[in-house]
C-alpha cells in the first residue's frame, strides 16, 4: 500500500485573478463564490481535494489590497496569516494584466516566508503562448519561485498537472477529512455566500462591498425540504431599494438563482426566504463583524 500524503496549500494574489475559480475547478463543485468584482472572497475558504493516496486542503484567501475599513483590515490579516500555515503557496496572477504595485506588495510579503511558492499563470487561454515567457521572466526577476505552472482555471487547462506538482511537495500525513467532504465550512456559511455572489453579480458601484449575508434559520421538514431564512445586510436605505428592485424583481431573481445553487450543493429541495435590513456603517462595527463570523481580535 502506498503511503498517504496530505498537506495544506494557500492561494494568494491580487483581487480578481481567479483564485476562487481555481479552487472550484479543483474541488469540482462551487464552494467559493465568483464575481468580476474585486474583494469577492472575505474569509479563508477551505476546499478539500481527496484521491486514493492524497488529500490537499486548499485555502482561498481574500485578495490582498489596501484596507479601507475594519472589514478590509480583517481580510488583509486573513490573507497574510495563511502564508505560514501551509506546505506550499500558490501565487496566482492574471496573465492578461500588467505586473503592478499589488504584485510587488505580495512578493515583498512572500520574501519573509520559508514555504515553497509556485507562480501560477492563470487565464493562459486568453493570450498567445509566446507572451508567457516575458511574463515569467518579469516575475522570476522579483522572486525565486519553486515552480512555474501556466493554467486556465476556468477551462481546467493544466490544472491536473498543477495538482501532480503540488503532490511532489507533500509529505506522508493523515487524512484530515472524510473522502466525500469538500469543505470545512458549515452549510449555512456556503449558502450565505451563494446569496452574496448573486448580489455581487447583479449590483455595482458601492452596493456589492456594503453587503453582507447571514442565515437566521435553517431547518428541514419531515419531507426533507430545507427551509432557509437569510438576511441581506446593507449600509444605507438606498442600497436596500436597489437590492429589492422594482416591485421586488431583483430580490426575487437573487433568491431564485441562489436557491438553484443551494439545491445542487445540498441535494435537497430548498424553500428560501430573503430579507433586506439596513445597518449603518456595519463594516466598521466590531460587534456586527464578529456576529458575521469575522474574528477581529
Better-scored residue on pLDDT, 3 or 151: 151
234-239 own/partner pairs: CB under 8 Å, 24+ apart: 234/207, 234/210, 234/276, 234/277, 234/278, 234/279, 235/210, 235/278, 235/279, 235/280, 235/281, 235/282, 235/283, 236/210, 236/278, 236/280, 237/278, 239/206, 239/207, 239/210, 239/211, 239/278
The pLDDT, as a whole number, for residue 190 is 77
Average pLDDT over residues 100-105: 90
Average pLDDT over residues 154-180: 92
The chain-wide mean pLDDT, for the chain, equals 83
- Identify the DSSP state of 155: T
Average pLDDT over residues 117-133: 96
> Residue 125 region, left (φ>0) first, then alpha (ψ -120 to 50), else beta?
alpha
The pLDDT, as a whole number, for residue 162 is 97
The pLDDT, as a whole number, for residue 221 is 85
228 has a pLDDT exceeding 50: yes
**246, three cell numbers:** 422594482
Provide the percentage of residues in the chain whose pLDDT is more than 70.
Answer: 80
Burial (CB < 10 A; 0-12, 13-18, 19+), residue 146, is middle
Strand partners, 237: none
DSSP string, 219-241: EE-TTSPEEEEEEEEESSHHHHH
Better-scored residue on pLDDT, 83 or 235: 235
Alpha helices in the chain (DSSP H): 19-27, 70-81, 101-110, 132-140, 159-168, 187-202, 237-244, 249-266, 286-291
CB contact at 8 A, 272 and 230: yes
Closest by CA position to 257, among listed 201, 183, 180? 201
Q: Is 213 helix (H, G, I), strand (E, B) or coil?
A: strand
**149, three cell numbers:** 505552472
CB contact at 8 A, 254 and 248: no
Q: Which domains does the chain have, with CATH numbers?
A: 5-172 (3.40.50.300), 187-291 (3.30.300.20)
pLDDT tens digits for range 17-31: 888 889 889 988 765
Q: What are phi and psi of 108, to 5 degrees?
A: -60, -40
pLDDT tens digits for range 55-88: 998 887 665 555 556 656 666 666 566 677 789 9
The pLDDT, as a whole number, for residue 246 is 92
The model carries a pTM of 0.62
Strands 147-150 and 117-122: parallel
- Least confident interval from 133-142, 235-244, 283-292: 283-292
Amino acid at each position: 500500500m502506498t503511503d498517504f500524503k496530505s498537506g495544506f496549500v494557500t492561494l494568494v494574489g491580487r483581487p480578481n485573478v481567479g483564485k476562487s475559480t481555481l479552487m472550484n475547478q479543483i474541488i469540482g463543485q462551487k464552494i467559493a463564490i465568483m464575481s468580476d468584482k474585486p474583494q469577492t472572497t472575505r474569509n479563508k475558504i477551505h476546499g478539500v481535494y481527496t484521491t486514493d493516496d492524497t488529500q490537499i486542503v486548499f485555502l482561498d484567501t481574500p485578495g490582498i489590497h489596501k484596507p479601507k475599513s475594519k472589514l478590509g483590515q480583517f481580510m488583509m490579516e486573513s490573507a497574510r496569516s495563511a502564508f505560514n500555515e501551509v506546505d506550499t503557496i500558490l501565487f496566482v496572477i492574471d496573465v492578461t494584466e500588467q505586473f503592478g504595485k499589488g504584485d510587488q506588495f505580495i512578493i515583498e510579503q512572500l520574501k519573509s516566508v520559508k514555504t515553497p511558492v509556485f507562480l501560477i499563470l492563470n487565464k493562459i487561454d486568453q493570450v498567445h503562448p509566446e507572451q508567457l515567457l516575458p511574463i515569467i521572466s518579469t516575475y522570476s526577476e522579483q522572486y525565486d519561485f519553486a515552480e512555474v505552472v501556466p493554467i486556465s482555471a476556468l477551462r481546467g487547462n493544466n490544472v491536473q498537472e498543477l495538482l501532480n506538482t503540488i503532490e511532489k511537495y507533500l509529505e506522508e500525513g493523515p487524512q484530515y477529512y472524510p473522502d466525500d467532504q469538500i469543505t470545512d465550512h458549515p452549510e449555512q456559511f456556503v449558502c450565505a455566500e451563494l446569496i452574496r455572489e448573486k448580489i455581487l453579480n447583479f449590483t455595482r458601484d458601492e452596493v456589492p462591498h456594503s453587503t453582507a449575508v447571514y442565515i437566521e434559520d435553517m431547518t428541514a421538514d419531515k419531507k426533507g425540504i430545507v427551509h432557509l431564512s437569510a438576511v441581506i445586510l446593507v449600509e444605507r436605505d438606498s442600497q436596500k431599494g436597489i437590492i429589492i428592485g422594482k416591485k421586488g424583481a431583483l430580490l426575487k431573481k437573487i433568491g431564485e438563482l441562489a436557491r438553484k445553487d443551494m439545491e445542487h450543493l445540498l441535494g435537497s429541495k430548498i424553500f428560501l426566504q430573503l430579507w433586506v435590513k439596513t445597518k449603518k456603517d456595519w463594516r466598521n462595527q466590531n460587534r456586527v463583524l464578529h456576529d458575521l463570523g469575522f474574528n477581529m481580535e
